[in-house]
Structure formats: C-alpha cells, structure tokens
Chain A
Amino acid sequence: MMRIRRRLPPAVLGGAFLFLCLAGCAGHGASFGKIESDLVRHRPDLALQDLDDRGGGGKSEVLYRLDRGMILRMAGDFEGSNFEFETAKAEIEALSAVSVTENVTSLLINDRTRAFEGEPFEQVMVHVFEALNYLELGEPDEARVEALQVDVRLRALTEASSDDLLASDPFARYLAGLIYEDLGERSDALIAYRLAFEAYRAHGRRYSIEVPPVLVDDLLRLTAWAGLTEEFERYRARFGRSVDMPRGLDAEEGELVFVLLDGFAPVKREDAVTLPAPNGLLVRVAVPRYEVSPPGVAAARVTIAGRAGRTQVVENINGLALHTLAARLPGITVRAVARAAVKFTAARQAQKKNELAGLLLNLVAVVAERADTRSWLTLPGEIQLVRVAAPPGVHRPVLELLGPAGGVIDTVELPAVEIRPGRKTFVTYHCLSP
C-alpha cells in the first residue's frame, strides 16, 4: 500500500474551511422555528406533534419534557403539563450525579454529548410553572408544595454555586408569598416577600429588573399587620408611600391575580472561531451566545367588575438568562479550549503516522466542535403580573394587550372566573406574537 505523502491542495483546505463556517449555522434554536410558529398561530396540538417529530429522549430528555409541559399548559391541559414537569424534575434529580463517561466524551467531541440538566433558573422555573398549573386547577395546597420545593431547590443551588444570583429567583419567591398569603399563612408570606425584595434588589444591580410596586404594597401591608413598625417605616420612607390597613386582609372582597407570560425565552446561538494551526491542521472553538427574541407585548390591562389594573414586570427572564450565561461562559470557554487542544494533539499524532488520516481526523474533530445551544425555549421572555380586587361572584375579565406607547393592540375576553371572598383567583395568559 502506498503511503500518501504529499499535502492536500489548498483548494480542498479552503473548501473545508468554508464548509465549517456554514456548518455552524444550524443548531437547536433553528429547529424550534416550526414549533414557535405553531404556537404563535394558537395551534398547540400541532406544536406537540412537531416537538415529537423533532425527537427527544436520550441526552435531551429533560428538555423534551419541559417543552412538552409548557405546550400542554398553553393548550389548557394543566394536569398533563404537571405530569411532564414531574417527570422532568425526577430526571434532573437523577442527572445531578456526576457522570465520568459524559465528562470524558464531552472533552473529546463537544458539549452536546452531555445530558441537558437545565440552567439553574430553568430548574427553578419548573416549580414556578407547576405551581401556576395547580393554582389554575384550584389546588392551592399542591401549589404550596411547589413553593416549599422552590425553597429546597434554591438552598441546594446556594450550596452548589458561588454566584448568589444564580441561587435566587425573585418571582419564584414572590409567587410563594402569594400562595402563602392566599392560604392565610401571613408570617410565611412576609418572609417570602422579604426574600423576593432582596432578590429583586440584587438582580436589579446586574440586569434590568425593578422591585415591582405590587410587592412594595404587600410588604407595607404585612409589616403593618405584623406590628413591625420599624420595618414598615423603612419601606414607607424608601418608596414614599403607604397603604391603608387592612385592605385585602379580612376583606369581603376577593382578588384576581393575572399573570401575563410574554414572548419566548432567548435562543442560544453559536459563536465559533476556526483558526489555521501548524501542519495544515485547523483548530475550532465554539461557545454559545443568547439572542433575545422580541417580546409579545409591552404590558396588559385587565378589567374585572368595572375595575382595571395594569400589569407590572415581575420577572425578566431575558436578563436572567443573559446573566446566567455570562457567569458560566468562562467555564464553558476553558472546556472548549481544552477540547481543542486534545483534538489538535490527537490529529497531530495521527498525522505523523499518516498525513491523510491526520487531516481527516482533524476535519472530523473540527466539524464536531459545536456549542451546546440547548435551552428551554418555550419559557416566556418576561413575566408580568397585576392584582385586581373584585366583589365575590362569577365575572368575565377583559384583557387588553398594550403596545409600547400604551395603545391597545388587541382585546381578549378571558373565560369566566369565580372570585371568593378573602381568596385569590389565579389566571395566566401566554402572549406569544409581537
């Protein structure tokens, strides 16, 4: 057998280089486009089919379950959605153990061979959406279980990570507070609201999120109820307002809590660099980058029994996702560079024995270098909330979707809800198209 010693012509190398640049375009985000368009057209049934066609299972089992859970929720099947979320939770739990084979494989091929566990905020969001499902099913005790699980999860995250932002989620805490208050557990609610307040302030320093005025009202109300005058005065001085006591506590009226789930979470794209290396070999490093999707609407106004309220931003998932990736990027980059070094060394060794084999190995290794662009795309980009008091009885709330200038884009009649005295009724709405 003749050994091929001559170098490959530059044209072949150039062609390979071009191919690699183009190969970087497809990713997880691209395959989501069809599902997104199904959801925008209000066809969650088609979206489920497309999700199944895209395939799941194996290393992306958790992601499949999360997307399925969210789409079922959009279709109104809260129980089915909860089943998917519970399965995802059990899988995330199982994946929390370290896999030696996965670590080794990802160092040889790429990060996509690792099982998808979800970013910390995605793991917390599973509990948030399961809680919202239970609230809409009228099972506040089960939602309370989720609020407790959020606490356990956040404590575990605090232990695991050094970045305190990754281990806190302001909306998760605020929702827990609402659940406790609905069940009459005001002390627990006050603790949850305080934690939410601290989380909003901490997060607000890193990305755009403010303490929602509705939380300030809750803090003022509950500190006044608990007799914590010093804390009450602190909030009053800081935010320059007060609330009447005891509004909404032992009231004869109930409350509609409307949650607007706006747009889609940001998509991960790939940022790749392919450089020529000595001996005709190539080196490629690929890392993920978030691309923020446009929001559905700027805000919404809900009218029930003649009273209206405008939604406020309570969670900026876009900002949270960007910050989480920025915190994790150094680790991802180090791993990618190490991987490039391993691949280069392997190709160099092969090249010493057989020029062509070395070049082919290098080509395969470089083509396989892809960033892990998997993320929970059916999450909303932003969560907004408004609470409107209403007299007990059955009402039909009206939802107005507002544009950036405050003009009404669309009006939606929501299904009838029952308002019970002294209790909250939760309604969520997914707004998907700009």
Chain B
Amino acid sequence: MAFSLSLLGGCATKVTRLDTADTVDLSGAWNDTDSRMVSDEMIADMLERAWLGQYVARTGNPPAVIVGEIRNLSHEHINVNTFVGDIERALINSGRVEFVASKTERLEIREERKDQDLNAREDTRKPMGRELGADFMLKGVINTIIDASGKTQVRFYQVDLTLISLVDNRKVWVGQKKIKKLVERSKLRS
C-alpha cells in the first residue's frame, strides 16, 4: 500500500516557488526576464547621459517624464504593460527623475478630482488644473526578426526607446537593446 501511495504521489501537480530574479526560459518567447533585463539596462543608460545633467543645470529641478506609447511590432503578443511597469519602476526608484501618470491613468484620477470637487470637504478638496506637466515623453518600439529552419529558430528582439522633449520635439536620448535567442525544439515527443 505504501508503494502504491508513493506511485500516486507522482501524479499530483508540483509547484515550486521561484525567486523573481531567477531566469527560467520555457518556450523561447518574450518573458519576464527579458522585460526586466531590457528595462533595467536601458533606464540605467538613460540616466547616465548628458540630457539629465543639462536639464537640471538649466532649470534646477529634476525633469518630469511620462511614458507614452510602446508599440509592439514583433511576432509575439507581448504584454507591453508589464514592460512599461518595469520601466516606470526603474525610473522612479532611481530618484533622479520625476514621474507623472500616463494618459490612461490620468482619466481615473481626473474623475476622482471631479468627484472631490462636488463631494469632498473644502479643506481636503484637490483643485483641478494643478497637474505637473511632463517635460519629456518616453516612447518605444519592440521589433523582432525570426529566422527559422526545421526545428531550430533564432529570435532576435530589438527594443528601441526614445526620450522626446515636449517643449520642442527634440529627441534627447535614444536607447537600443538587442536580445538574441536560439530556440531548439525537440524532434521527438511522447
């Protein structure tokens, strides 16, 4: 009976908790490791460049950045939101830029403010028209090139991010990160 129970034990679903920093590549598709790797490296690069120092020297304040559209022009349905989340986290945690809510987030906040205008107590009401206007917009594109033969595939991802000044449309920073993966699928299955 112990033997049969131990056999049955092999049938249950097995769950192993991983550290979020662990790299587990299962299918070769864009995963959380790619998203984190790209956002950390690119934001680190962005914050090292001259534009930041020049802006602070000119105005005396840290710049306000808003994340605009990150277009997915790749072969996969990549969840761009997690990527944007990683970028935002990297930017805010650096402490060197200020961050404002994106277009979609603002809608809900403005609704709340409008509601406060009607319903909240006078001294706690947050007036409209006091938002911090962004100074720079971060836009991006994810591209892929796929080369396949038989069961082997080489996937090349290129993520391009651009920081554009909202004053005069100047591109103050352009970053690029490439990832290349070799995916070999097995020729046999059970």
Cβ of B149 within 8 Å of any chain A Cβ, yes or no, is yes
B71 touches A141 (CB 8 A): yes
Which of A94, A100, A145 lies in contact with B75, CB distance below 8 A? A145
Stretch at the interface among B17-25, B123-131, B182-190: B182-190
Q: Which residues of A contact B27 (CB under 8 A)?
A: 90
Cβ of B116 within 8 Å of any chain A Cβ, yes or no, is no
Q: Spell out A's residues near B (CB within 8 Å).
A: 86, 90, 93-101, 141-142, 144-145, 148-149, 152, 155-156, 159
Q: Which residues of B contact A90 (CB under 8 A)?
A: 27
Could you list 16 A-B pairs, sorted by A, with CB under 8 Å? A96-B185, A97-B151, A97-B187, A97-B189, A98-B189, A99-B190, A141-B71, A141-B73, A142-B72, A145-B72, A145-B77, A148-B74, A148-B144, A152-B146, A156-B148, A159-B150
Task: A93-B185, A98-B187 are known; give 16 further A-B pairs, CB within 8 A.
Answer: A86-B77, A96-B185, A97-B186, A97-B187, A97-B189, A98-B188, A99-B189, A101-B190, A145-B75, A145-B76, A148-B74, A148-B75, A148-B144, A152-B146, A152-B148, A159-B150
Which of A86, A97, A155 lies in contact with B188, CB distance below 8 A? A97
Alpha-carbon distance A173/B190, docked complex (angstroms): 35
Q: Spell out B's residues near A (CB within 8 Å).
A: 27, 71-77, 144, 146, 148-151, 185-190
Q: Which residues of A contact B190 (CB under 8 A)?
A: 99, 101
Alpha-carbon distance A46/B27, docked complex (angstroms): 35
A159 touches B149 (CB 8 A): yes
B185 touches A97 (CB 8 A): yes
Q: Which residues of B contact A101 (CB under 8 A)?
A: 190
Q: Which residues of A contact B148 (CB under 8 A)?
A: 152, 155-156
Q: Which residues of A contact B71 (CB under 8 A)?
A: 141
Q: Is the interface of A mostly helix, strand, loop or mixed?
A: helix
Query: Known contacts A101-B190, A152-B148, A159-B149; is A145 also within 8 Å of B185 by CB?
Result: no
Q: Which residues of B contact A159 (CB under 8 A)?
A: 149-150
Alpha-carbon distance A95/B77, docked complex (angstroms): 21
- Least CB distance from B149 to A in Å reads 7
Alpha-carbon distance A145/B144, docked complex (angstroms): 10
Alpha-carbon distance A90/B187, docked complex (angstroms): 16
Alpha-carbon distance A307/B187, docked complex (angstroms): 54
Q: Which residues of A contact B185 (CB under 8 A)?
A: 93, 96-97
Smallest Cβ-Cβ distance to A115: which chain B residue: B189
Alpha-carbon distance A93/B72, docked complex (angstroms): 22
Alpha-carbon distance A94/B28, docked complex (angstroms): 13
Q: Which residues of B contact A141 (CB under 8 A)?
A: 71-73
Q: Which residues of B contact A95 (CB under 8 A)?
A: 189
Alpha-carbon distance A93/B28, docked complex (angstroms): 12
- Least CB distance from B76 to A in Å reads 7
Q: Which residues of B contact A98 (CB under 8 A)?
A: 187-189
Smallest Cβ-Cβ distance to B185: which chain A residue: A97
- Least CB distance from B100 to A in Å reads 24
Query: Most B CB atoms within 10 A — which of A90, A93, A144?
Result: A144
Query: Most A CB atoms within 10 A — which of B71, B77, B185?
Result: B77
B73 touches A94 (CB 8 A): no
- Least CB distance from A179 to B in Å reads 12
- Least CB distance from B31 to A in Å reads 14
A99 touches B188 (CB 8 A): yes
B187 touches A145 (CB 8 A): no
Alpha-carbon distance A69/B190, docked complex (angstroms): 27
- Least CB distance from A151 to B in Å reads 9
Alpha-carbon distance A34/B72, docked complex (angstroms): 41
Alpha-carbon distance A96/B183, docked complex (angstroms): 14
- Least CB distance from A152 to B in Å reads 6
Alpha-carbon distance A154/B17, docked complex (angstroms): 39
Which of A94, A142, A152, A155 lies in contact with B189, CB distance below 8 A? A94
- Least CB distance from B146 to A in Å reads 6
Alpha-carbon distance A108/B166, docked complex (angstroms): 71
Alpha-carbon distance A100/B187, docked complex (angstroms): 10
Q: Which residues of B contact A149 (CB under 8 A)?
A: 75
Alpha-carbon distance A142/B142, docked complex (angstroms): 13
Alpha-carbon distance A257/B150, docked complex (angstroms): 36
